[in-house]
Structure 1
Amino acid sequence: MRTDDFRGGMILQRADAYQLVECWSDTVGYTRAPRQVRQDPDEDYRFLLPLTGETVLRQGDEESRLTPRAAGLMTCSAPFELLPAQTNRVAALPTRDCSVHAV
């Protein structure tokens, strides 16, 4: 693959306390290393919802395969790898509040 063949994009929507990020790209992995966790702490969680394709989330000793019918919750205060198996679209909702509220 030539470097000018890469395709990707992002849509960001924000409110006061939340943001919704939809991103898509050709196959590319995202890593947050221990050094990055120390240098740039992030106590928010990310609720990941694959819209197309499959994404592998590795954090600690755990590995989860997320598909459009399976969402995941991850912390950014620990190292992780996020590896799409193919071109996909993922929506992520950063939040500090992970409590469940009955409606």
Structure 2
Amino acid sequence: MSAGGRLDFDSVRWADDQPDIHSRAIPALGQRWAIVAYEPGAAREEWCTDGHRGYVVEGQIVYEFDDGSEPLSLAGGQGFYLAAGTRHRGSNPGGSTTRLFLIDDPL
């Protein structure tokens, strides 16, 4: 393994996770590193159980949990984590695009 490396997100095409949520993802160090964009009003349809560590670059994101836990509301400049095995899904309640930087649990 090298001492360091560059991840060139600009060389990766945007993929449509669903019509109003897009991502650029790169596998690195056995994890998925991604830039994710939620258009205004976008909400994930499916529950996710992967763990994530992230940073809200701009906008707002709200994660809801299917176990009844209080939703996690975040804004630009805030970091967060979501534990693996916890069913969650995100939505953008704001009027502008939300951009996240995420590192997912090992592939």
Q: TM-score, normalised by structure 2?
A: 0.62
Deviation at 1:63, TM superposition (A): 1.4
Matches within 5 A, 1:1-103: 9-27=22-40, 28-33=42-47, 44-59=50-65, 60=67, 61-86=69-94, 87-95=97-105
Unaligned runs of at least 5 residues, structure 2: 1-18
Matched-pair identity in %? 10
Q: Greater share of helix residues, 1 or 2?
A: 1
Q: Cα deviations across residues 6-60 of structure 1 (Å, max 9, x unaligned)?
A: 6653211221312211011313111444xxx7xxxx5x41012111101011223
Q: TM-score, normalised by structure 1?
A: 0.64
Aligned residues: 83
Q: Is the 8 A contact 1:31 1:79 kept in 2?
A: no
Runs of 4+ with deviation above 6 angstroms: none
Cα distance in structure 1, aligned partners of 2:39 and 2:104? 23
Unaligned runs of at least 5 residues, structure 1: 1-5, 97-103
